[in-house]
Structure formats: structure tokens, C-alpha cells
Structure 1
Amino acid sequence: MEKYKKILIFVVTCIAIGYLSGTVTRASVVTWFPTLIKPSFNPPAWVFAPVWSTLYIMMGIAAGLVWNRIDFEREAVRKALLFFVIQLVLNALWSILFFGLKNPLLALIEIVLLWLMIYETYVKFIKIDKIAGYLFIPYLLWVSFAMVLNASIWWLNK
């Protein structure tokens, strides 16, 4: 399969996962989330959609680039893509825990696992394709920020 088709498949998959996890957040963003005490560094609501859209596109490109190396590094690519899928599932799960179940503590525990899986995916990706690894750095940084934000919201509202 052509490289650009592989990239497109993963970009569409990532955006679809983002859209589905966004459906979980919609009601709570309007009803429950505004009632929470938030730290001073909480970004305005309009920031999240463009940031996550960009990150999902970058994640999809990265995964497509790694998948494109399957004929040369079959086992490494399979393992890297397994980690990718796990972190993508954890990414969607966070929205369910935080916004769906309205449980910042459980979401905080889960986001630590998500961060570790993102980091491991980054480590595996960069060994296979440098650009794929570099594309994961903004995601890792944003989830680092989200983890601090999640912890702060839990702490302020416990």
C-alpha cells in the first residue's frame, strides 16, 4: 500500500477517535465542567479543539510513517503500532473518565498511564522513523500539561 494511503488511514482513524471522545465531553463541558474550580492556567475552551485536531493529525501522520516501514522492520513496526493503538484507546478513555463519569481522580490515574504509553510509543517510533518520533513530541508535551491541569482540577475540587 502506498505511503500516503497509510498516513490517510491513520489520520482518519485518529480524527474519528477524537470525534467520538469529543461526543462524550460535549454535555459535560456545558453543564458540569463550568461548575469546577480551575487553576489560573486553565486555557480558554476554544483552545482545545484546534490543539487536539492538530495533535490527532500529527499522530496519524506519525503512525502512517511507521507503518510504511513494515517491509523493512516488521517486528519493530508491529510492536510500535501496538503501543500506538493502546495509547489511542487510553486517549479516548480519559474523556470518558473525566467528562463522562465526572471523575477527575480516576482520569488523573489514567492520564499517567496514557503519558507513559505515549512516551513508549515515541521511543519506538523515533527508532523506526525520526520524523514520526518528532511528530509525537507536541503530543507528549500537551498531555504533560493536561496531566498537570487534571491534577490541579482534582486537587481544587476534592
Structure 2
Amino acid sequence: MASNAIKQRDPTTTTTTMNNKRRSGGGSRRDKRMVMAKHGFRSLAIAVSLPLSLTLISMYLGLSLHTQQHAHHDDASRKPFWFPPSWVLHLLCPASSFLMGISAWMVWANGGFHRNPVALMLYLTQIMFTVLWDPLVFGFGTIRVGFIVCLGMFVALFGCMHVFGKVNSVAADLVKPCLAWIAFLSIVNLKLVYL
């Protein structure tokens, strides 16, 4: 009898039982919410940092190729007053990638990429065009190709806005400033062709 009482009060048995209960879903709601919040924060960090880091690497490659080749079209006397300086371009492109990362995460969290693979394809296409634009325009000086890439980005973003809106309206709203930015970037790129 005494040995049974000791076995029932063994703290390692109690701890093991509680851990098994938590793993099997029998833990408290607070514990479940904390686990879900940690997973959500981790996936959000990946969703935002991956496209943002790819954009920053692309900008770095574009600038390093640009300085190696010394071929740029920054003749200030020929630029119109609305033409943005290159630092604005290099600031707003990562901001656009940041917003697209949040938007894509919202769609992923609602299962949109699983239900509609076109959404994922459009998002990845947009990332590809974003990564290609800076090295093509600033690095290699292929401005006409850069304009075509801008048009591809615009089409991919428009598709993202349409498909994301079916999953999450806030995600579609986050795409709209990116779409406006790419439309302006296309105009800037077209102006670069004729400078």
C-alpha cells in the first residue's frame, strides 16, 4: 500500500503525464495560444524576410554591377522634375517587397496557396521580376528589358491583388500600394528609355 501511494505522488510521473497531456492537445488554452502565436510569428518573419532579403541582394548586385561598368543615365539636366532620385527607388522597392510579404503571409495563413496554386505562382513570379529589375536596369543598363520586366511585375501584382482578394480582402488592399508603385516605376523606366 505504501509503495502505491509513493508511485502516485512521484513528481516525475506527474510531470510526464502533464507533458503528454499538453502534446496531445489537452493543455490549457493559454498554452495552445502561445504555441500558435510563436508559429505564426515565425512564419510571418520568414514570409517577410525572404522576399525582402532577395530584393536587398538584388539591389546590391545592381549597384555593384553599376559601379563596375560606370554606365548610368543620371543626367540631372535632362530629367523631369517628377523623376525620383535613385535612393528613393532603392528605398521604395524593399518597402514594396515588405508589404507583399505580409500580404502573401495573410493569404498563406488562410490556406489560399493550398486552395489556389495560381496565387502562389503569381506571387513567385512577382518576386522573380522584382529580383531581376534592379540588376537589369542599374547593373547592365538594359533599360528596355527593364521596362518589360516592370510590365511583367505589374501584371503579376494585378493578378495577386485579384486572387488574394478572394482569400483575404486586407491582403488585397496591401497589394494596391505596391501596384501603384510599380505603375509609377514603369513610367520612370519608360522615361529612362528616352533620356
Normalising by the residue count of structure 1, what TM-score does the alignment of the two structures yield? Answer: 0.86
Match of 2:132 in 1: 93
Pick from 53, 65, 68 the counterpart of residue 16 of structure 1: 53
What secondary structure does 1:33 align onto?
coil
Match of 2:114 in 1: 74
Contact 1:21 1:96 (8 Å CA) reproduced: yes
In structure 2, the CA distance between the partners of 1:73 and 1:14, relative to structure 1 (3 Å rule), is: closer
CA shift digits 1:18-50 (9 cap, x unpaired):
111111222327943354543331112332343
CA shift digits 1:127-149 (9 cap, x unpaired):
11111111111110001000000
- Greater mean deviation of Cα atoms: 116-125 or 28-37: 28-37
- Greater mean deviation of Cα atoms: 40-49 or 88-97: 40-49
Contact 2:125 2:156 (8 Å CA) reproduced: yes
Q: Are 2:87 and 1:50 aligned?
A: no
Pick from 119, 129, 132 the counterpart of residue 168 of structure 2: 129
User: Highest Rg: 1 or 2?
Assistant: 2
Q: Are 2:79 and 1:60 aligned?
A: no
Question: CA separation in 1, counterparts of 2:113 and 2:99?
Answer: 22
Contact 1:6 1:67 (8 Å CA) reproduced: no
Instruction: Tell me the amino acid that sits aligned with residue 38 of structure 1.
Output: K
Instruction: Tell me the amino acid that sits aligned with residue 42 of structure 1.
Output: F
Contact 2:113 2:119 (8 Å CA) reproduced: no
What secondary structure does 2:194 align onto?
helix
Identity of aligned residues (%): 23
Gaps of 5+ in 2: 1-35
Instruction: Tell me the amino acid that sits aligned with residue 58 of structure 1.
Output: L
1:21-32 equivalent positions in 2, closer than 5 A: 21-27=58-64, 28=66, 31-32=70-71
CA shift digits 1:92-143 (9 cap, x unpaired):
1112221222111111122111111111011111111111111111110001
Contact 2:59 2:135 (8 Å CA) reproduced: no
Contact 1:39 1:153 (8 Å CA) reproduced: no
- Greater mean deviation of Cα atoms: 50-59 or 12-21: 50-59
Gaps of 5+ in 1: none
Question: CA separation in 1, counterparts of 2:136 and 2:85?
Answer: 21
Bigger relative contact order, structure 1 or 2 (CA pairs below 8 A, ≥6 apart)? 1
CA shift digits 1:61-84 (9 cap, x unpaired):
1011011011x77322x3212210
Match of 1:150 in 2: 189
